[in-house]
Amino acid sequence: MKALKPIHCHCIAVLAGFVFQTALVSLSFAQMDSLQLRLYHGLDEIGSSAFINKQIVQGSIIASLRGHSTLLYRRPAGSQGELKSSSYFRSVVGKTIYSNLDVRAVFEGDYYQLERFKGPSQLPPAVIDPTGLWTLDYPSAYTALPSQQINRSLFGLGSTFTPDTLMKLTTIIGSQWESREGFYDKGLSASFDAGLSGFELAGYRNNLNAYIEQEELGARMNRELRFNYGLNKKFSQYGSNRLEIYYRQKRHDYHIWGTSSIGTRLDTDQSVRNQLKYDYTPRAGFILDTELVGSSHEDRSQGVNSLREEVATSNALTLHGDKDRLSGWTRIKFDWGAQEDMTGLKHNRGTSLEGGVSWFPNKADSVALVTAVRKKRYDTSDTSNYDDRDRLRYEFDLAYGHKFSPNFRVISRAHVTMEHLVYIYGQKSDQNHWNRVFRLQPEVSFEPCADWHNTARFELVANSTDYDFELDPAFIKSTIYRRYTAGDSISWSMARGWMLSLEYSIDLEDGGRFLWDDWIQQISEKYRSQQAMILMIRKTHSGIRFDTGISVYERKGWEYTLDPSAGTVKTPFLYLSRWGPMIRFVFPSASGLYIQTDGDLSWVHEWNRDDYVIINLDFRLTWR
């Protein structure tokens, strides 16, 4: 198809970003403290990302560079495309004047752009036009919605003063430029950061940090105030206490699109957390956790204020102990919270009781049990809001392991979750229901010799939703879903550094309506999935690894309908098969370089659709 409208994307095209990031690697590779690079291509997306962190100390000169960038194009089938790019960097160059004082210059930048497309259902091809720029070509059906773009730059001068080893003071004053939504602002920016760490007084270890920043950008003003305080005390080898206090207030002015007005957002967050630990014997003790969190969010726009205030608190007491081959713990927790906004006041209260025990009766057996009961209540002050409800939840986990021999082990896990949701008012009582999940997971591991390893896994899951009231017998809302999974993997170390791996799994699923009282399931659909994989693995003594193999996948689906004359009729409605090669390459080195590449190519056959190809590629480079 002929491309009628190319888009030059030298700063936002995904492949262009990859080329830039690769160039960045080649320029800085020999001096990088930390560098990470990634390129990936999936079914519905293609993207790249890079991260860089560099510190330089040369005599009295101090320099640092830190930044990251991401580019992502997404196009799920049947939806519009989306191209998103963002980058951030901060560079600092300073000079030490005295042993405890240095001056510095800071350059900081943020970039963000989001663009949505309409047009082809596939990823656009990337080509190079005669000018040498990367181009994304779209057919004549292409249209683009207005893009969202934000740019921010800051250049400032400042200093860092360290009066002693515990205190650090940093201040920066500079000029800031910002553009977004068609508006351009510039002005003065100033910040002050004070930190005190590891200060001890009467056995209490104190940590304090205070930060204030203000931006005067013409008619806009942004301000942030942040405060952190931590206190630690170890009374003895059996008891300790930790206290954390946090406060943050932020004001942000913004332009209201399409008008000359300016809106203001005010956010305030505060929290107090405390944890007391005490062991009254060497093998038993308790932990007391207390938390109080509050926040307010106000939006002032064109004379209309929108305010939301929230407060929450929680208290938990945990008792723990162990004796010989038995250990356990139990916790009781109380939660309370409130939220008030233009829709009224809302309350929620919760109580939970949890516990766990581990038992090793002998060297061959082990048992672990974890249980919990949780209750949550939600109330509203609006008499026209019938969303008041109670939620009761039971959780049960049991694991048992047995070692028949050093080469033959069995582990079995059982999990049960039951949750009852009840609406207080009759207007919504038809939504009252039970949700029950039952899961059984046995696993067998067998190693007949040093070169062979075999693991078989099984899983049986039943998930049912049973409504308390079925108002219309012709429309049963209660449902049940069941799945059985069996899988087996075999690995064989054929020779030094060579290994062969075989895997196979099968899933059997069905779902439909569920009549709990009669214990009857009316199946509406059923699925069967199979997957197999064979891998040849080569690993050298230096850690280099190369895997290559083939993967095969198949999924079938059937629908069940009721026919007055024929009864239940089973009809196939889904078939999908996929097969193709897959590779993995891992390269570590003593110099700190690590490269990993994962890729697979699949030929896909699907009913009512032309055959197509899926390419997945994930390339990662890290150097520290």
Of 490, 484, 508, 482, whose CA–CA distance to 444 is shortest? 490
19 within 8 A of 26, measured Cβ to Cβ: no
Query: Is residue 16 scored above 50 in pLDDT?
Result: no
| Secondary structure class of 19 (helix, strand, coil) | helix
586 within 8 A of 593, measured Cβ to Cβ: no
Query: Is residue 415 scored above 80 in pLDDT?
Result: yes
CA-based angle 414:416:518, to the nearest 5? 115
266-271, Cβ contacts within 8 angstroms, sequence gap of 24 or more = 266/296, 266/297, 266/298, 266/299, 266/300, 267/295, 267/296, 267/297, 267/298, 268/295, 268/296, 268/297, 269/293, 269/294, 269/295, 270/246, 270/294, 270/295, 271/244, 271/245, 271/246
155 within 8 A of 172, measured Cβ to Cβ: no
Query: Helix, strand, coil: what percent of the chain each, to 5?
Result: 5, 75, 20
What is the amino acid identity at position 493?
Answer: S
Note whether residue 122 is domain-resident.
yes
176 within 8 A of 154, measured Cβ to Cβ: yes
Query: Is residue 232 scored above 50 in pLDDT?
Result: yes
Query: Is residue 397 scored above 80 in pLDDT?
Result: yes
534 within 8 A of 549, measured Cβ to Cβ: yes
Note whether residue 39 is domain-resident.
yes
390 within 8 A of 377, measured Cβ to Cβ: yes
pLDDT tens, position by position, 540-570: 988 999 999 999 999 999 999 887 777 788 9
Mean pLDDT of the chain: 87
pLDDT tens, position by position, 79-101: 678 889 999 999 999 999 988 99
Backbone torsion region of residue 165, taken as left when φ is above 0, otherwise alpha when ψ lies between -120 and 50, otherwise beta: alpha
Query: Is residue 474 scored above 80 in pLDDT?
Result: no
Q: In which band, very low, low, confident or very high, does the pLDDT at 169 lie, cut at 50, 70 and 90? A: very high
Query: Is residue 138 scored above 50 in pLDDT?
Result: no
Note whether residue 16 is domain-resident.
yes
Note whether residue 48 is domain-resident.
yes
The CA distance from 602 to 554, in Å, is 12
In which element (H, E) is residue 371 found? Answer: strand 365-380
Q: In which band, very low, low, confident or very high, does the pLDDT at 237 lie, cut at 50, 70 and 90? A: confident
Partnered with residue 194 across adjacent β-strands are 169, 210
DSSP-assigned states of every residue in 418-468: EEEEEESSGGGGGG-EEEEEEEEEEEEEE-SSTTEEEEEEEEEEEEEEEES
- Kindly state the tokens that stand for 44: 């519905």
289 within 8 A of 246, measured Cβ to Cβ: no
Confidence (pLDDT) at 4: 33
Residue 113: domain span: 5-153
Confidence (pLDDT) at 126: 42
Query: Is residue 47 scored above 70 in pLDDT?
Result: yes
83 within 8 A of 103, measured Cβ to Cβ: no
The CA distance from 97 to 94, in Å, is 9
Confidence (pLDDT) at 143: 52
Confidence (pLDDT) at 31: 44
The CA distance from 164 to 423, in Å, is 61
Note whether residue 412 is domain-resident.
no
Query: Is residue 51 scored above 90 in pLDDT?
Result: yes
Confidence (pLDDT) at 520: 79
Q: What is the DSSP letter of 146?
A: P
- Kindly state the tokens that stand for 65: 């560079």
Sign of CA dihedral 423, 426, 428, 430: positive
CATH number for the domain that contains residue 90: 3.90.1150
The CA distance from 32 to 526, in Å, is 54
Q: In which band, very low, low, confident or very high, does the pLDDT at 119 lie, cut at 50, 70 and 90? A: low
Q: In which band, very low, low, confident or very high, does the pLDDT at 347 lie, cut at 50, 70 and 90? A: very high
Note whether residue 38 is domain-resident.
yes
CA-based angle 102:222:219, to the nearest 5? 120
Confidence (pLDDT) at 99: 87
Q: What is the number of domains present in the chain?
A: 1
Note whether residue 172 is domain-resident.
no
Note whether residue 31 is domain-resident.
yes
Confidence (pLDDT) at 416: 98
The CA distance from 33 to 64, in Å, is 10
How many of the other CB atoms lie within 10 Å of CB of 526? 18
